[in-house]
Amino acid sequence: MGFMSFHPTDVPRLAMRGATFAQTVAKFGAKRIHERVRESLLSDEFRPQDDDEFVAAAYFPADLSSVYQLEQWLWPFEQLEARLKDLGHGDRPFGIFVRNAIVAEHLKDVTDFPVRFSRLTSGLDKFMQSAQLRSVFYVNQGTSNFQALRYRDPAHIHLSHGESEKISMISNQLKAYDYVFTAGQAARERIELALYGMSEEHMWDVGRPQLDRPRSAPSEWEEFNGKNPGGRVVFYAPTWEGDSPAMAYGAIAYNGPELVTDLLEAGYRVIFRPHPRTGVMRHEFGKAVDDVTRIVEAAPRGFVDVSPDISWQLDEADLAVVEMTSVAFDWLSTGKPLVMVRPHHAEAEILEGGLLDQCPTLGLDGSESIVELVDEAFSDIGTVDTLAKFYLGDTARGEQLARFVDGSLKVIDERSEQRRRKRTR
């Protein structure tokens, strides 16, 4: 076996790589130390308790940058818990299990649900092997979910954190769950077409129950609206850059500044809300958010949205300009016009016949401007209601929440009966 040769001129480059690697290792080590310190300071109330009797739970192993995925499900979980209480399942029938101490501390301030934490398998064992636990919900496709999926007694239910046509929505990982709560007919067909052997009987449509939550605009928007009345409102909600070429659906780094400038100059009022993970993987996307923010903040008709969730914007805006993200599909429930933005990355996987093909879409060739597409969308909104039914089912107020709660209770009842039969064999 020969030795790898290198030229003396390679030395600076190799030294730079070594320094970069050392910096990465140092940052990783510092992060781990910080997490361990926070973990040591957690009070005992976060540990799984002997008297925990959760019937249903959410499992969330991710870090703080992804906690928005869980937060959007808190209200539907609250409605489920209320029904469980009414049915006699105790005073605290729903709990949340996390693997990150910082997330545990954060959730204590945003929810009344009992939050349990353990980085170690022993804590996970205690939580998952509770005699009362019947169902566990998962809000993403994180690989750490599989550490919890090994427990056989509770039913494992995949929710995802939104409906979309990103390639991650048809991952073969879905087969690992007992049930997949799909948004509607489109999701079921998409999964059946893509995955071999995925049975429809394990996919239940629940819509997007978050959309049934009572909502009101924040005071900041009300103040802005009072100072800048009149004119149609465009909700611009781009996605992040993604963590792989196949998932690179974002385009804000390439057309964001021009897009908002054109809309503002055309007389539209603009609500700008970037994805919370934008810039995590690629610096130019974070810079684009800063650039667009400056443009919007400097314009009398521009509003930068820093509110905690996507809800009120669906009522206040007249049209949405959205990339391939769950916001686009939630927007369908409004019946108002939608303009899509095509991914910039050539390797982003796009499903044929989806929203990008069915709505006015800003492409890469520059053949149409965003203003032209917005004007086109306002003139023809006849297809939006049809798309909403296909992707979300019945979106009348309360219907989606009812499907989620009823489906969850059905799973709990089925698992209780299955466990009873197993014990009596």
Answer for the pair 411, 155: CB distance below 8 angstroms, yes or no.
Answer: yes
Distance CA(254)–CA(257), nearest Å, equals 8
* pLDDT of 236 over the 90 cut: yes
pLDDT-based confidence at 19, cuts 50/70/90? low
Residue 105 backbone dihedrals phi, psi, to 5 degrees: -65, -40
Answer for the pair 103, 67: CB distance below 8 angstroms, yes or no.
Answer: yes
Instruction: Give the residue among 116, 113, 134, 193 at the shortest CA–CA distance from 354.
Output: 193
| Sheet hosting strand 361-362, strand order edge to edge | 302-304, 269-272, 233-237, 319-322, 338-341, 361-362
Amino acid 160: pLDDT = 87
Amino acid 190: pLDDT = 94
| C-alpha dihedral, 287 to 289 to 295 to 296, nearest 10° | -170
Radius of gyration over alpha carbons of the chain, in Å? 24
> How large is the average pLDDT for residues 234-241?
95
Per residue in 289-320, pLDDT tens? 999 999 999 999 999 999 988 999 999 999 99
* pLDDT of 15 over the 80 cut: no
Distance CA(52)–CA(91), nearest Å, equals 10
Amino acid 13: pLDDT = 64
Domain 219-392 has CATH 3.40.50.410: no
Per residue in 132-172, pLDDT tens? 999 999 999 889 999 999 999 999 999 988 899 999 899 99
Q: Which residues pair with 10 in a beta bridge?
A: none
Give the residue extent of every domain in the chain.
Answer: 45-207+399-424, 219-392
Amino acid 31: pLDDT = 63
DSSP string, 187-255: HHHHHHHHSTT--GGGEEE---GGGGS-----HHHHHHHHHS-SS-EEEEE-----SSGGG----HHHH
> How large is the average pLDDT for residues 280-288?
92
> Six-digit token pair at 129?
């092997």
pLDDT-based confidence at 6, cuts 50/70/90? low
* pLDDT of 14 over the 60 cut: yes
> How large is the average pLDDT for residues 64-92?
96
Mean pLDDT score across all residues of the chain? 91
Residues 6+ apart with CB under 8 A from 391: 163, 183, 184, 185, 186, 187, 329, 332
Amino acid identity for residue 129 in this structure: Q
Q: Model's pTM, two decimal places?
A: 0.86
> Six-digit token pair at 262?
């054109």
Q: What's 113's DSSP letter?
A: S
Amino acid 357: pLDDT = 93
Distance CA(281)–CA(278), nearest Å, equals 8
Token match 């057309």: residue? 255
pLDDT-based confidence at 7, cuts 50/70/90? low
Per residue in 180-209, pLDDT tens? 999 999 999 999 999 999 988 899 999 999
Report the 10 Å Cβ neighbour count for 49. Answer: 15
Distance CA(406)–CA(412), nearest Å, equals 10
pLDDT-based confidence at 213, cuts 50/70/90? very high
Q: Do domains 45-207+399-424 and 219-392 have the same CATH topology?
A: yes
Instruction: Give the residue among 288, 234, 237, 238 at the shortest CA–CA distance from 263.
Output: 234
Cα angle for residues 424, 405, 102 (degrees, 5° grid)? 95
Answer for the pair 270, 296: CB distance below 8 angstroms, yes or no.
Answer: yes
Domain 45-207+399-424 has CATH 3.40.50.11720: yes
| Percent of the chain residues topping a pLDDT of 70 | 92
Per residue in 322-366, pLDDT tens? 999 999 999 999 999 999 999 999 899 998 899 999 999 999 877
Amino acid 425: pLDDT = 76
Residues 6+ apart with CB under 8 A from 142: 61, 62, 66
Per residue in 369-385, pLDDT tens? 999 999 999 987 667 88
